[in-house]
Structure 1
Amino acid sequence: MNDNENEYQDFSGEVTPASGGEMSLIAKIVGVFLDPKRTFTSLDRKPDFWAPLIIIVALSLVFTTLAWPIIEESSLEMRRGALEKTDMSQGEIDRALEIQMKAGKIPGIVSIVISTLVIAFIVAGALLFAGNVIMGGESSYKKMMSVYCYSSLIGLISTAIRLPMILSKKTLEIYFSPAAFFPAEMKDALAFKIAAIFDIFVIWKIILIAIGMGIVYKTKTEKPLIVVGVMYLLVSGVSILISNLSMSFGG
């Protein structure tokens, strides 16, 4: 790790003096979109993840609360489709769906909020492993949490665009990826699932994470970009494989 905490190495490999002075919370939130290098340089000196973590959890809460009727309907349709592939009678299926509906809104929202927290802590650990082991650098969990949570603020823009579309069209099937060009009947096709992982906001988030890791680990941005990109593709690939296998066994 570079002993000079007042410098960082940008994506071109040039060591650049860090901006003097600490950034305020608002400055860092705005800066992650407009000047991510300065923001992550500030976070490298003074890690801070609780504020952005609270923001992304609150964002998850708002999104889930407003879109709950659509989320619930989509969940019931998926559950019905899965149950219809089993040996259960129609009456048993209806009772199972009724139980799910009676579980209510609050448990569903709470589970999504908790999963948002769990995912944040797990991903930060994965990024620390990638940086310290795969890339051979040295950093701390707190810094990786800071990089991940501030990068996740891209969700503010994503939600501001997606949520009105979801509410107006009454569907969760809103895509900002090549999947948007596929017909609806292809949503279970392998090509559709592969296309869907290349979401523009996910790509933006990965780029921000790579910039942050590049600054924290004092390396070119390309190195963490490749590592994080490959990790994302591997996780997405496993998710698609599990989805296809479950559909095959269910059928």
Structure 2
Amino acid sequence: MSMTSGAELPVPLIPHSKSFSARILGIFIAPKSTFRTIARAPDWLGVLALTFLVNAGVWAVVFQTPVGRFALMDRWESSAIAFGQTVDDDRYAALETASERGAIYAVAVAFAAGPLLAVVLSGLLVLALRPLSSGVERVAYSQVLAVVAHAGVILALREVVAAPITYVRGALGSPLTLRLMLSGLDEGSTFARFASGIDMFVLWWIVVLAIGLSVLYRRPARGLAVRLFGVYVAMVVILVTTMAVTGGTQ
């Protein structure tokens, strides 16, 4: 996957030549050329709707099953304990009751992690990358949102993979993290927690997002990916540090 700069821009807002399905497939097999097409005609609503429906649908199905509800309840309990909270009988009963509305939870999380996150993240990227836009035709918010929305198909794929794995294992979790690739780690160690937070699908998403932004801002994708990766690692470090400070266990 090339991470070179897109030197053909600025990109005028002209009709695109790739169909919706071709753009989705292109994110996986030819992201740079696909993002050039997307930048010329920044359609974002369709792909946001698709990824939202996929994410909500796969998890709603899982959380309707006894295995899925137990996995959800177990995740809530372990998260509370990880941040130093106590889960007594009353709270456990409340979690059990809440897990019965797993389908509603799936829809809410899919909306927050999909359309809402895309809109907010796009705004933050426009502000953060404004210094890079000197000498480049003004990059519109709609173009950044379209790039973010299309990059989100990588995260949607993660959910499609994770949902059946959750059903088989009876436990929630990313299907591929750094921790799963490193054997022999002490489960409660700080590094194990950090490794659990490094998701390979998120790293893939960062690379794809960086390629899309490089097309818009005519900057090397490698440098943009390093910056995004730095932010991601910092967020994981903050999360792990918070768990350590609160004295919780995982």
TM bucket (normalised to shorter chain) is 0.7 to 0.9
Q: Does 1:30 align with 2:25?
A: yes
Distance 1:33 1:67 in 2: 26
Partner of 1:130: 128
The answer on 1:152 being equivalent to 2:152 is yes
CA distance in 1, matches of 2:185, 2:221: 39
Choose the corresponding residue for 1:100, options 98, 103, 109: 98
Distance 1:142 1:115 in 2: 19
CA–CA separation in structure 1 for the residues paired with 2:109 and 2:24: 24
Q: 1:129 to 1:105 in 2, by over 3 A?
A: same
Task: Give deviations 1:122-180, integer Å, cap 9, x for gaps.
Answer: 222222222214x3554222111111111111134323433322222222245412211
The alpha-carbon distance between structure 1 residues 23 and 184, as it changes in their structure 2 partners (threshold 3 A), is same
Aligned residues: 237
Change (3 A) 1:26 1:91: closer
Match of 1:54 among 41, 49, 57: 49
Alignment of 1:42-121 (within 5 A): 42-68=37-63, 69=65, 70-80=67-77, 82=80, 90-97=88-95, 99-101=97-99, 104-116=101-113, 117-121=115-119
3-state DSSP of counterpart to 1:139: coil
> Is residue 131–residue 224 contact of structure 1 (8 Å, CA) maintained in 2?
no
Choose 74-83 or 24-33, whichever is displaced more.
Answer: 74-83
Q: Which letter maps to 1:142?
A: S
What is the CA deviation profile of residues 6-50 of structure 1, one whole-angstrom value per residue up to 9, with x for unaligned ones?
xxxx854573488x9622111111111111111111111111111
**Cα distance in 1 between the residues matched to 2:152 and 2:42:** 15
- 1:241 and 2:233 matched: no
Alignment of 1:215-234 (within 5 A): 215-234=215-234
Check the 8 A contact 2:177/2:199 in 1, yes or no: yes
- Give 5+ residue unaligned stretches, structure 1: 1-9
**Among 7, 32, 50, which residue is 1:15 paired with?**
7
Counterpart AA for 2:225 = L
Alpha-carbon separation, structure 2, partners of 1:65 and 1:184: 34
Whether 1:41 and 2:33 are equivalent positions in the alignment is no
* Gapped regions of structure 2 (runs ≥ 5): none
Distance 2:98 2:185 in 1: 27
- Give 1:189 shift: 2.8
Q: Is residue 177–residue 196 contact of structure 2 (8 Å, CA) maintained in 1?
A: yes
Equivalent residue letter for 2:129: G
RMSD: 3.3
Local SS of the residue matching 1:153: helix
Per the normalisation by structure 1, the TM-score is 0.78
Mean Cα deviation higher: 33-42 or 163-172: 163-172
Preserved CA contact (<8 Å) 2:5 2:215: no
Percent identity reads 16
Change beyond 3 A, Cα 1:218–1:177: same
1:167 partnered with 2:167: yes
TM-score (norm 2): 0.78
Higher Rg of the two aligned structures: 1
Q: Which stretch shifts more, 162-171 or 53-62?
A: 162-171
Code of the aligned partner of 2:7: V
Q: 1:13 to 1:216 in 2, by over 3 A?
A: closer
Amino acid across the alignment from 1:203:
L
